[in-house]
């Protein structure tokens, strides 16, 4: 989708990007206006904006401005649109697939009714809802989120080892996308934070729940 075909936030999606990758992109751009338009979510993760159709490219500050949008306005408006599309009576519904493998802690794959599933990590309005869904399934206050690609998010009751990412998940039909892989994220005041920066969680009692929450 070219910029001429983008009329507003309804034509944009939120994309997670690593801070290091975006810093390199900004350094190679011709001035601030051409740099990727982003908002910091945590030390290592930023949210950027891409067209909902066409190549997965990040819009620059000048391109957002041409649409009459600032990054903050676009970020909030996209999140509100997704919630409006997904919710019934202020409760978002998620489809949960339980993943079973000897080397995995209790783990689920989460699918969403609206938006792209990785967008639900990219704004507190969205992340708070998907966090509630996961912790309800686990019967605990703690969940670890792993973004394997734009369309694939899993959550686990405890952290997943590197070996399990390499072996167990592929056996379940899940593979990681090298350029879109964010793992071991915890919910902290609405934002995705590397679990290494947060105190070790306490385990909770397992809770058997339906797959819809």
SS (H, E, C) 59-96: CEHHHHHHCCCCHHHHHHHHHHHHHHHHEECCEECEEE
56 class by beta-carbon count within 10 Å (0-12 exposed, 13-18 middle, 19+ buried): exposed
Q: Does residue 203 form part of some domain? A: no
What does the pLDDT look like over 119-151, one tens digit per residue? 999 999 999 999 999 999 999 999 999 999 999
Domain boundary among 28, 52, 86: 86
Please tell me the least confidently modeled range out of 58-67, 184-193, 197-206: 197-206
User: Do 82 and 104 have their domain in common?
Assistant: no
Q: Does residue 208 form part of some domain? A: no
By residue range, what is the domain housing residue 58?
3-86
User: Do 187 and 98 have their domain in common?
Assistant: yes
Tokens 């809802």 correspond to what residue? 129
| The token pair that represents 119 in the structure block | 């967008």
Domain boundary among 46, 65, 86: 86
User: Do 122 and 187 have their domain in common?
Assistant: yes
pLDDT at 197: 83
Residue scoring higher pLDDT (26 or 190)? 190
Residue scoring higher pLDDT (84 or 185)? 185
pLDDT at 87: 77
User: Do 92 and 153 have their domain in common?
Assistant: yes
Q: Which of 152, 148, 157 is nearest to 186 (CA)?
A: 157
Instruction: Tell me how many domains the chain contains.
Output: 2
Q: Does residue 140 form part of some domain? A: yes
pLDDT at 206: 41
User: Do 108 and 183 have their domain in common?
Assistant: yes
User: Do 93 and 82 have their domain in common?
Assistant: no
pTM for this predicted structure: 0.84
Calpha distance 48→74 (Å, rounded) = 10
**Cβ distance 147 to 185 under 8 Å?**
yes
pLDDT at 88: 63
Q: Does residue 204 form part of some domain? A: no
User: Do 74 and 155 have their domain in common?
Assistant: no
In the structure, what pLDDT confidence band is assigned to residue 9 with cuts at 50, 70 and 90?
confident
Tell me, what DSSP letter sits at residue 208?
-
192 class by beta-carbon count within 10 Å (0-12 exposed, 13-18 middle, 19+ buried): buried
């Amino acid at each position: 989708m070219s910029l001429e075909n983008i009329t507003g936030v309804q034509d944009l999606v939120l994309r997670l990007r690593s801070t290091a990758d975006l810093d390199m992109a900004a350094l190679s751009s011709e001035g601030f206006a051409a740099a990727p338009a982003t908002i910091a979510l945590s030390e290592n993760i930023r949210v950027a904006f891409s067209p909902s159709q066409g190549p997965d490219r990040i819009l620059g500050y000048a391109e957002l401005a041409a649409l009459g949008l600032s990054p903050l306005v676009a970020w909030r408006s996209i999140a509100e649109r997704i919630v409006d599309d997904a919710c019934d009576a202020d409760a978002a519904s998620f489809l949960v697939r339980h993943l079973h493998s000897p080397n995995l802690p209790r783990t689920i794959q989460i699918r969403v009714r609206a938006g792209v599933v990785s967008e639900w990590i990219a704004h507190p309005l969205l992340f708070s809802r998907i966090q509630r869904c996961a912790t309800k399934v686990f019967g605990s206050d703690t969940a670890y989120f792993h973004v394997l690609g734009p369309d694939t998010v899993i959550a686990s009751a405890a952290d997943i080892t590197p070996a399990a990412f390499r072996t167990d998940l592929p056996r379940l039909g899940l593979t990681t996308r090298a350029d879109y892989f964010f793992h071991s994220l915890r919910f902290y005041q609405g934002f995705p934070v590397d679990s290494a920066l947060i105190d070790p969680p306490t385990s909770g009692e397992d809770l058997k729940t339906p797959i819809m929450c």
